[in-house]
Structure 1
Amino acid sequence: LPNLAARTSASELVFRLSADPQTLDWNLAHSSYETYIIMNLMDGLVEEGEDLRPRPALAEKWELSKDGKTYTFFLRNGVNWSDGRSLRASDFVDSWIRLLSPQTGSQYAQFLFEIENAEAFHRGQIKKPELIGVRAVGDHKLVVKLRQPLPYFIHLLSFWVTFPIRLDLIKQHGDEWTLPEKIATLGPFLLSSWKKGNQLVLRKNPNYRGIIPSVDQVRAIIEADDQRARTLFEQGKIDFLADATTSDVIRFQSEQKKIRIKHYPYLSTYYLAFNIKSKFLKNIYIRKALSGSIDRKALASALQGGHQAATGWLPPGIPGHRNASNPSLELYEARANLAKAGYPDGSGFPKLTLWIEKVDGAETLGAFLKKTWKENLGIDVGFEIPQPEDLQQALKMGVTDLFVKHWGADFPDPANFFDVFTSSSPANWTNWTSVEYDRLAFKARTINDENKRLLLYGAAEKILVNSDSVIVPLFFKPTTVLLGPKIKSLSISPLNYLFFKTVHLNK
């Protein structure tokens, strides 16, 4: 069981992680368990402001060439790692080469592919890392050359995989370089201790480059059991719950305790997708029948968690989200499409299985869609809510007929959403490819004029959602947090980042 000893400081924040971070190596990290910790241990060249515009962090300023292909970053003076060594521009070069190296095996190597020769290096087509378009000029200047203009490139540099790294410590300690006694960081907090399966403790960095946090210490209790976590929260042993469910909201609203419920916007879209290679769902008329019979407003209402019916693929907060590509609820047309597929009134329709990501409200969602398709089309569709690793395996094997997942933004730009369904995307589990969709998505990436970009993305969305009926955007869901009486202020960003340096506690 987690160590629930008395708090060591009045200025201690205690929260729950449902699992240990898989790694604290930020070139490799890829889940929320890691990001809650890494985003408080480290900084990048830039950070996303509350308005989702990049602002200076480790870079004091930057310049962009007239052709939009060369960035020059000027690092702040006086920034030191926690072991006392000063930050150098070469720490970014080391990090980015390591991220791109095929030996590293990072899921996010493609983030830097638009840097000159970066993709060729990752694919082994060139062997010399010095040919990659990133170089240090002295200790405080970093020059980055892109193969083509990329309007959102600056946003990528707020993402953890691009943070600077200490290659000397990695060479010295190997895989153990992230242990508390060996790691060097430069963010607002330091890694004090980590007892796996028990707890992880951060303490504030008195030498942080920015505003020193008001919280002295942050303790993450590793607690896998949801019910026990809620008991600890009610007992005041955890200060907030970042993964509150709809049932939590209903329960605590009615109990009128000193517990506040906060909803924070989250740049994510929950969607239904079809496996185009499925024996039956390769038939576009079946896809159109299934998608056209869903009442998304009724679904959002049934889920009761502050959900908002999706009008298109992009969530509010991402430019272009008003494209409204979703097909309207036209039961006559949906039934006509089912008849065209050879199943009038659902007669003889095969039994399909819907796979649903294990999220809050998954059972309600599955039951709603099952009932919808039975009542509106006369067909039976079963559903399963597998463990995350089982769903991932099924998607890789291509055995899912149709599935519900969500995509959360890594950075606030439409490219991050539309790239998901390009033919080369590792996140495209639909087995669908479209030369025209790829052309539009790739062309839109490089255009600076936002209106022209959004027109291209709008055309790509029509192919994805309307003409080819590959996905059905279902709803947008906020991040819901339960705040205990000790929390004065806490916020979670639309990118689902929780910065402990912004937290204030009641005295």
Structure 2
Amino acid sequence: MNHHSSKWTIAFLIFVLLLTGCSSNAANGTNNSNISSPGPTDAASADANVVDANEGKELATELKFPLDQSIPTLDPHLSLGGSNSTVVLNVFEGLFSFNSSYEPVPSLAESYEVSEDGKNYVFHLRQGITFHNGKELKAEDAAASLNRWKELAPRAKSSFGESEFEAQDDYTVVLNLNEPKNDTLAQLSHVLNFAAIMPKEVVESAGPDGVKEYIGTGPFKLVEWKADQYIHVSKFENYQSPDGESDGFAGKREALVNDIYFTLALDNATRFSSFLAGDFDYVDVSIDNLPLVENDDSIELVKDLSTDFNLIFNKKSPLFSDIAYRQAVAALVNAEEILLGITSTPDLYRLNPSYMYEENAKWYSEAGSEAYNQSNPEEAKRLLAEAGYNGEVVRLLTTKDTGSFYNASLMLQAQLEAIGVKTQLDIYDYATMLTKRADATAWDIYLGPFIVPSTPSQLLYLNPSYGFAEDAKLAELLKKATAALTDEEIKEANDELQAYVWEYLGNVKIGDTYRYKAIRSNLQGVTTLYGIPNLSNTKVYKKS
């Protein structure tokens, strides 16, 4: 080999090594601090001519998806909002997932057994599942994750108490309860504070503010979280989907785009304008903006049953620790006025006295409903006078980050002021509002949307840590409802529980709300559950 050939050979080898190093960094999701906003990637350009064989259309390789709430954390055991869930449900998975009928379906679990008395559960894991860091999922990972989850998630803590998940062998996890729990699988399936499985070492190194790494088994892996701007996830090439037809968040899942940029777009008008400009292919649509999209053949309008709305009392506040004041507000509330203020049209709400959707036949109940939507200001004034109201200010905790919180608070404020109650709106960004809500000294009333669970034990406002519902009878009836095993026992216990919820008045149910979503025809396969989109199995076609 001559001298010149050697030089070229060495140069070529250096080039290859540099190229390999760059590729390795990209594959491992190395953050690039110079990226200030999401845009087309090199991978998207390289795959410019990918064609969907079934449709004969060119596929895009990335999706830009709007988020309407700020993200306080991506720790799935701490996540508290719809935007958090929209992201983390693509990155993490649990043992079970809900289908569209709110039924738990095995996900990372392959199968399970329950003892006849309902106290003992054995979960068999699917084998050969890998985390985003290449480690194989084992029972020790699942047990560590689930034990942390049940300590941090109020729903799980109240349900499982001191019971521990234990690794029996590499692929078997057991849970031994002190009493039967008919909601165990539902708890493991829920999408808020959800029972995500992470590597054991990630769980053990977590600090008080959450995990330090976001490593799951889901179809997408985290690449970058640019605070207050966007979250970038990319396709996990080694993802192994559960079997079965895709349904809700259960069944087959597949990453059909290379990259998703979850983009914070908190202002409603800006978010919708960005959709009209083609920056987004999916957006929520207010009633005012409906005429701009309803006659566009390239846009599908979807009306989703999204959330229910509740008024929550701070049971440790000087006023509302007294049930007489809670009764006065319950007598006053005109639910239709508040719902109309939230949605702007009767088409997007329905009255409902139950803490469950009527679609959930097993747990729907109208017990105690005579206390619902009383809209009786004279009775409210009488009760306030009896309670000794003397002009104290009622603090309404809210945020403008999502209009429904703020609009609902404005409507309640008007109703209270009309009968002589002094009020004060305390407005914060969404993340700060969540922090304030946990402070018993910071508020009196909070109105907000709730993703409706499948069982009563998942209702946050029945939990002592949420609104401070520290009531022995409430805890006893909740325990009775979750211990019931037959359908007849469940109905009887559930009716008794709901009747007492309306008597205790830790909360006042306002009603259920729907939302319009606009989806461009080039975005195919998006499904929602609880109003939260499932972005696996979603294709994006290039716009012509």
If the TM-score is normalised by the length of the shorter chain, which range does it land in? 0.7 to 0.9
Contact 2:312 2:446 in 1 (8 A): yes
Q: Please tell me whether residue 442 in structure 1 is matched to residue 479 in structure 2.
A: yes
Q: 1:355, 1:385 within 8 Å by CA — same for their partners in 2?
A: yes
Query: 1:399, 1:27 → 2: CA distance?
Result: 24
Cα distance in 1 for partners of 2:320, 2:329 equals 10
The answer to whether the 8 A contact 1:150-1:445 is kept is yes
- Please give the alpha-carbon distance, in whole angstroms, between the structure 1 residues aligned to 2:125 and 2:438: 43
Structure 2 gaps, min length 5: 1-35, 48-59, 242-251
1:299 Cα deviation (Å)? 3.9
Q: How far apart in 2 are the matches of 1:109 and 1:484? A: 38
Q: Report matched runs for 1:392-403 at 5 Å.
A: 392-393=435-436, 396-403=439-446
Aligned residue identity for 1:167? K
Q: 1:342 to 1:195 in 2, by over 3 A?
A: closer
Q: How does 1:109-124 map to 2 (within 5 A)?
A: 111=156, 115=160, 117-118=162-163
- Over aligned residues, Cα RMSD in angstroms? 3.7
- CA deviation digits over 1:325-379, x for unaligned, max 9? 3326666x752563365379xx99636435153342455434544554566xx43
Deviations 1:166-196 (Å, cap 9, x if unpaired)?
A: 23466799999866xxx64322122344444
More moved, 77-86 vs 473-482? 77-86
| Corresponding residue SS for 1:230 | helix
Residues of 2 paired with 1:177 and 1:280: CA distance?
Answer: 38
**Partner letter of residue 498 of structure 1?**
P
Q: What is the SS of the residue equivalent to 1:162?
A: coil
Q: Which moved more, 1:356-365 or 1:140-149?
A: 356-365
User: What is the 5 A alignment of 1:374-413?
Assistant: 378-382=419-423, 384=425, 386-387=427-428, 388=430, 389-390=432-433, 392-393=435-436, 396-409=439-452, 411-413=453-455
Secondary structure at the counterpart of residue 454 of structure 2: coil
Q: Give 3-state SS (helix, strand or coil) of 1:427's partner.
A: coil
Residues 382, 235 of structure 1: alpha-carbon distance in 2 compared, 3 angstrom cutoff: same
In structure 1, the partner of 2:257 is: 215
Residue from 304, 312, 316 that aligns with 1:264: 304
In structure 2, what is the equivalent of residue 148 of structure 1?
179
CA contact (8 A) 2:397 2:437 kept: no
Matched AA of 2:381: L
Q: Secondary structure of the equivalent of 1:474?
A: strand
Question: Which of 363, 366, 383 is equivalent to 1:323?
Answer: 366
What are the within-5 Å matches in structure 2 for residues 39-438 of structure 1? 39-99=89-149, 107-108=152-153, 111=156, 115=160, 117-118=162-163, 132-137=164-169, 139-159=170-190, 161-168=194-201, 184-210=215-241, 211=252, 212-241=254-283, 243-249=284-290, 252-253=293-294, 256=296, 258-266=298-306, 268-276=307-315, 281=320, 284-302=323-341, 303-304=343-344, 306-318=348-360, 319-323=362-366, 325-326=368-369, 327=371, 335-336=378-379, 338-339=381-382, 341-342=384-385, 350=391, 352-353=393-394, 355-358=396-399, 359-362=402-405, 364-372=407-415, 378-382=419-423, 384=425, 386-387=427-428, 388=430, 389-390=432-433, 392-393=435-436, 396-409=439-452, 411-417=453-459, 420-422=461-463, 425-429=464-468, 433-438=470-475
Change in Cα spacing, 1:257 to 1:312, as seen in structure 2 (3 Å) is same
Q: Which secondary structure does the structure 2 equivalent of 1:80 belong to?
A: coil
* CA shift in 2, pair 1:385/1:443, >3 Å: same
The change in CA–CA distance for 1:269 and 1:469 in structure 2 (over 3 A counts) is same
Contact 1:117/1:133 (8 A) holds in 2:
no
Partners of 1:246 and 1:368 in 2: CA distance? 18
Q: Which runs of 5+ in 1 are unaligned?
A: 101-105, 119-131
SS of 1:444 mapped into structure 2: helix
Counterparts of 2:408 and 2:485, CA distance in 1: 39
Change (3 A) 1:86 1:343: closer
How many residue pairs match? The answer is: 469
Aligned residue identity for 1:238:
F
Match of 1:491 in 2: 527
What's the counterpart of residue 64 of structure 2? 14
Match of 1:124 in 2: none
- Deviation of 1:231 (Å): 2.9
3-state secondary structure, aligned to 1:213:
coil
Matched residue type, 2:339 = A
Give a deviation string over 1:93-140, Cα, whole Å, max 9, x none: 22234446xxxxx6317615655844xxxxxxxxxxxxx452232x22
1-structure distance, mates of 2:272, 2:462: 37
TM-aligned CA deviation for residue 245 of structure 1: 4.0
SS at match of 1:323: coil
* Structure 1 residues 234 and 439: alpha-carbon distance in aligned structure 2, compared to 1, 3 A threshold: same
Deviation at 1:404, TM superposition (A): 1.9
* Corresponding letter in the other structure for 1:164: I
Q: State whether residues 47 and 56 of structure 1, in contact with CA within 8 Å, keep that contact through their aligned partners in structure 2.
A: yes
Residue aligned with 2:111, SS: strand
Letter paired with 2:492: L
Query: 1: distance between equivalents of 2:393 and 2:99?
Result: 45
Partners of 1:459 and 1:329 lie apart in 2 by: 20
TM-score (norm 1): 0.79
Letter in 2 for 1:503: T
